[in-house]
């Protein structure tokens, strides 16, 4: 065997291989090189050489936007319309996997690209309301209000739904503005409670309450004062505003120094301030004037010489006791003259108070 010289071709190995040839992309500024590499493993050979890449070409024309027509779509390409004009350019049909596009003068087919990825499914929510009758003025129409995002859209409908027929009346106990905590017992009536709701109540009836004072509550007395308290009685608080109606009769006889020395009267005064010893304190609510029979009869009376216009009437507050207040009533023997001596006998004495609800 001779020794190989420079430039000689020397066979190093021979065999059957399956070969893949790769080209290395290079730009035009890289000098060309006559080089190649080959890798062989288990009968698989890979040859790598340089390849050239030329400069970028001119920009191409943008592909037209094709508007697909779905109405009256032909079954095959042989049934494409023949009467389309230039105004139908870039419109076409999708037939058997091809898109047939009208160029303005003729039909051309194009293979559509692959389908894109499936987009996100929006979570659509909806609400609706009926426009109240009070808002249905001129020009009011149905409204569709869209809020949210493209992924979570929300649509709210305000509709001019027609007014339906009048429904059946609800039972009182099932009404939303009814408070039955007070107990619906016989005798109670329906009224507005302190919480603003309707409900059963005894207070709403405002029953007048009658209080009487028996003769045993009186004490036989003999006095020579111009005025003294014959009786003090306390009327408990009512659950409504009220005005007293007083009446009673007593036997008082004696002598007083005035134009009518044999008649002795009484006055009835009421106060809601307790602990006051002055028998003249409070509002005048009753009066009696004695007669020759020595019996004195009390009737309602609200005026005197110091207040000749005093009178009670609905809404004027004269003689009224507020709800929740006790009332103290004093019956005073009154001498309208200068001096007198009296004798009081409790036999047959009686006094009554009727609580009249005030408006």
Mean pLDDT across the stretch 209-228?
Answer: 85
Mean pLDDT across the stretch 214-232?
Answer: 83
In tens, the pLDDT along 170-207 reads 888 888 899 988 888 887 888 888 889 999 887 666 78
Element (H, E) at 332: strand 327-334
In the three-class reduction of DSSP (H, G, I as helix; E, B as strand; rest coil), residue 203 is classed as helix
Q: Which two tokens stand for residue 217?
A: 């509550």
Residue-level pLDDT at 128:
94
Q: Which two tokens stand for residue 350?
A: 């009686």
Q: Are 91 and 81 in contact (CB under 8 A)?
A: no
- Domains of the chain, residue spans: 18-52, 209-357
pLDDT over 90, % of the chain: 38
Whether 351 has a pLDDT exceeding 80, the answer reads yes
Element (H, E) at 22: strand 18-26
* Residue 165 or residue 253, greater confidence: 165
Question: Nearest CA to 344 among 214, 228, 211?
Answer: 228
291, 297, 298, 299 alpha-carbon torsion, rounded to 10°: -90
Of the given ranges (14-23, 221-230, 283-292, 349-358), which has the lowest mean pLDDT? 14-23
Residue 36 confidence class, pLDDT cut points 50, 70, 90: low
Q: What pTM was computed for the model?
A: 0.46
Mean pLDDT across the stretch 308-312?
Answer: 90
> What is the number of residues in the chain?
359
Instruction: Report the alpha-carbon distance of residue 99 to residue 109 in Å, rounded.
Output: 6
CATH topology of domain 209-357: Jelly Rolls (2.60.120)
In tens, the pLDDT along 239-269 reads 889 999 999 998 877 665 555 555 677 899 9
Of the given ranges (16-30, 242-256, 319-333), which has the lowest mean pLDDT? 16-30
Q: Which two tokens stand for residue 265?
A: 């009267």
Instruction: Report the alpha-carbon distance of residue 177 to residue 179 in Å, rounded.
Output: 7
Q: Are 76 and 96 in contact (CB under 8 A)?
A: yes
Q: Are 146 and 126 in contact (CB under 8 A)?
A: no
Q: Are 284 and 269 in contact (CB under 8 A)?
A: yes
Residue 30 confidence class, pLDDT cut points 50, 70, 90: low
Residue-level pLDDT at 349:
92
Residue-level pLDDT at 56:
79
- CA–CA–CA angle 110, 112, 114 (5° rounding): 155
Residue-level pLDDT at 235:
94
Residue 112 confidence class, pLDDT cut points 50, 70, 90: confident
* Residue 137 or residue 6, greater confidence: 137
Question: Nearest CA to 140 among 160, 126, 124, 122?
Answer: 160
Residue-level pLDDT at 14:
63
Mean pLDDT across the stretch 54-79?
Answer: 85
The single-letter DSSP state of residue 321 is B
Q: Calculate the average pLDDT of the chain.
A: 83
Question: Nearest CA to 272 among 237, 231, 307?
Answer: 237
Residue-level pLDDT at 207:
81
In the three-class reduction of DSSP (H, G, I as helix; E, B as strand; rest coil), residue 173 is classed as helix
Residue-level pLDDT at 171:
87
In tens, the pLDDT along 122-158 reads 999 999 999 998 899 899 999 999 999 989 999 999 9
Residue-level pLDDT at 52:
55
Residue 7 confidence class, pLDDT cut points 50, 70, 90: low
Question: Nearest CA to 155 among 188, 111, 122, 185?
Answer: 122
**Strand 153-159 and strand 125-130: pairing?**
parallel
Residue 305 confidence class, pLDDT cut points 50, 70, 90: confident
Of the given ranges (106-120, 134-148, 153-167), which has the lowest mean pLDDT? 106-120
Mean pLDDT across the stretch 231-243?
Answer: 91
Rg of the chain over Cα atoms, rounded to whole angstroms, equals 57
Instruction: Report the alpha-carbon distance of residue 290 to residue 260 in Å, rounded.
Output: 10
DSSP state letters, 221-263:
EEE--SEEEEEEEEEPPPSS-EEEEEEEEEEEEEEESSSSTT-
Instruction: Report the alpha-carbon distance of residue 110 to residue 106 in Å, rounded.
Output: 13
């Amino acid at each position: 065997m001779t020794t190989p010289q420079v430039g000689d071709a020397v066979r190093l190995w021979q065999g059957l291989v399956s070969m893949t040839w790769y080209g290395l992309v290079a730009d035009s500024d890289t000098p060309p090189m006559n080089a190649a590499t080959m890798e062989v493993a288990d009968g698989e050979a890979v040859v790598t050489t340089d390849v050239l890449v030329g400069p970028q070409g001119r920009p191409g024309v943008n592909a037209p936007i094709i508007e697909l027509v779905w109405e009256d779509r032909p079954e095959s390409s042989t049934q494409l319309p023949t009467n389309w004009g230039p105004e139908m350019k870039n419109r076409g049909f999708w037939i058997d996997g091809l898109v047939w596009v009208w160029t303005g003068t003729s039909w051309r087919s194009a293979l559509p690209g692959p389908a894109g990825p499936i987009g996100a499914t929006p979570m659509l929510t909806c609400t609706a309301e009926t426009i109240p009758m009070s808002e249905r003025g001129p020009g009011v129409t149905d409204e569709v209000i869209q809020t949210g995002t493209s992924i979570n859209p929300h649509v709210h409908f305000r509709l001019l739904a027609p007014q339906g027929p009048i429904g059946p009346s609800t039972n009182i106990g099932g009404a939303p503005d009814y408070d039955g905590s007070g107990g619906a017992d016989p005798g109670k009536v329906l009224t507005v409670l302190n919480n603003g709701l309707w409900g059963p109540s005894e207070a709403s009836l405002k029953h007048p309450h009658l209080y009487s004072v028996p003769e045993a509550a009186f004490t036989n007395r003999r006095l020579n004062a111009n005025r003294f308290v014959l009786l003090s009685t306390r009327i408990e608080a009512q659950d409504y505003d009220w005005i007293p109606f007083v009446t009673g009769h007593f036997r008082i006889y004696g002598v007083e120094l005035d134009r009518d020395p044999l008649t002795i009267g009484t006055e009835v005064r009421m106060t809601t301030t307790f602990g006051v010893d002055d028998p003249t304190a409070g509002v005048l609510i009753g009066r009696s004037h004695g007669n020759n029979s020595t019996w004195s009869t009390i009737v309602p009376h609200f005026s005197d010489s110091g207040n000749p216009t005093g009178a009670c009437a609905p809404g004027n507050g004269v003689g009224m006791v507020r709800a929740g207040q006790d009332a103290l009533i004093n019956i005073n023997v009154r001498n309208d003259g200068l001096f007198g001596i009296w004798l009081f006998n409790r036999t047959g004495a009686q006094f009554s108070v009727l609580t009249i609800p005030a408006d």
